[in-house]
């Protein structure tokens, strides 16, 4: 089977299964298997593939059809221009999360910064790549496996971040920060979305947080008060329909200048408040 024939068949299978990104996913999977770029797949489209490669391709296409995320198949996801390793122990970074990075950069802080529940390290590595030596960067996660992935991503991009195994603030002592960011679990325990798209394959502990999805956000907002420097911001990502509820949690905890920022689709996505 030639590369052209393999791509055509793979795209047809994915499209027939309702995969919206069928053409792109087929190209990405074959690039992954052959070490050829998407351009090279076109210029080498008459090259014959080995039976082993064809069999592996068919296995991965069927896996993708089952709903398995393309990022887990490839083992990486692009975020803020960084190629980040992802595994089933980490959430897959979403484009909407870049909103919290941009807002954090707008704050122009100079002291230590902290990312709570870092996962792949996407947010803190994006911030460190922009802030550089101007800030000390810290990140924590309760998952050892997630921290191992985050550390590997930091080494890959030569970014100096201190990673700490911690259940939210429990292992941070009395250290204070000039900025704290978090993309915590915020999905309701019985949300029907948990059975759709890629979510069934992602770690449930990084997705859900109580009956209304806000349990962890309540903990972060309350406990961050003793870890923020005077005037420092707290930024939290949340669900599209949680903006008002999260803003209320911020104000009830005494944060000032509380604001909810929308994502590119116009949905509430990040809430920020300041310790004043």
pLDDT band at 81 (very low <50, low <70, confident <90, very high): very high
Q: Give this prediction's pTM.
A: 0.90
Sequence ranges of the domains in the chain: 3-66, 85-274
Residue 16: is it exposed, middle or buried by C-beta count within 10 angstroms (0-12/13-18/19+)? exposed
- The number of C-alpha atoms within 13 Å of 40 and in the hemisphere containing its C-beta is 9
The stretch 196-210 carries a mean pLDDT of 56
Residue 29: is it exposed, middle or buried by C-beta count within 10 angstroms (0-12/13-18/19+)? buried
The stretch 182-204 carries a mean pLDDT of 63
The stretch 190-205 carries a mean pLDDT of 56
Q: What is the pLDDT of residues 50-66, one digit of tens each?
A: 999 999 999 999 999 99
For the chain, the average pLDDT equals: 92
The stretch 97-101 carries a mean pLDDT of 96
Choose which CATH entry (3.40.50.150, 3.40.640.10, 3.30.300.10, 3.90.870.10) describes domain 85-274: 3.40.50.150
Left (φ > 0), alpha (ψ -120 to 50) or beta: where does 253 sit? alpha
Residue 252 contacts residue 246 (beta carbons within 8 Å): no
């Amino acid at each position: 089977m030639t590369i052209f024939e393999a791509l055509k068949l793979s795209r047809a299978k994915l499209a027939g299964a309702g995969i919206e990104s069928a053409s792109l996913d087929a190209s990405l999977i074959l690039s992954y298997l052959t070490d050829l770029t998407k351009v090279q797949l076109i210029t080498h489209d008459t090259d014959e593939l080995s039976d082993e490669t064809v069999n592996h391709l068919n296995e991965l296409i069927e896996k993708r059809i089952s709903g398995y995320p393309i990022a887990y198949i490839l083992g990486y996801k692009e975020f803020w221009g960084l190629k980040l390793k992802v595994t089933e122990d980490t959430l897959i970074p979403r484009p909407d999360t870049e909103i919290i990075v941009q807002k954090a950069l707008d704050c122009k802080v100079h002291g230590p910064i902290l990312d709570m529940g870092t996962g792949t390290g996407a947010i803190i590595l994006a911030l460190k790549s922009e802030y550089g030596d101007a800030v000390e960067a810290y990140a924590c996660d309760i998952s050892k496996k997630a921290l191992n992935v985050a550390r590997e991503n930091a080494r890959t991009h030569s970014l100096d971040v201190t990673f700490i195994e911690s259940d939210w603030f429990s292992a941070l002592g009395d250290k204070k920060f000039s900025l704290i960011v978090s993309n915590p679990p915020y999905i309701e325990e019985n949300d029907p979305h948990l059975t759709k798209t890629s979510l069934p394959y992602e770690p449930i502990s990084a997705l859900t947080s109580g009956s209304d999805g806000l349990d962890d956000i309540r903990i972060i907002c309350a406990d961050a008060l003793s870890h923020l420097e005077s005037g420092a911001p707290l930024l939290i990502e949340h669900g599209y329909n949680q903006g008002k509820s999260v803003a209320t949690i911020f104000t009830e905890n005494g944060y000032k200048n509380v604001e909810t920022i929308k994502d590119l689709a116009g949905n509430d996505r990040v809430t920020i408040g300041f310790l004043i």
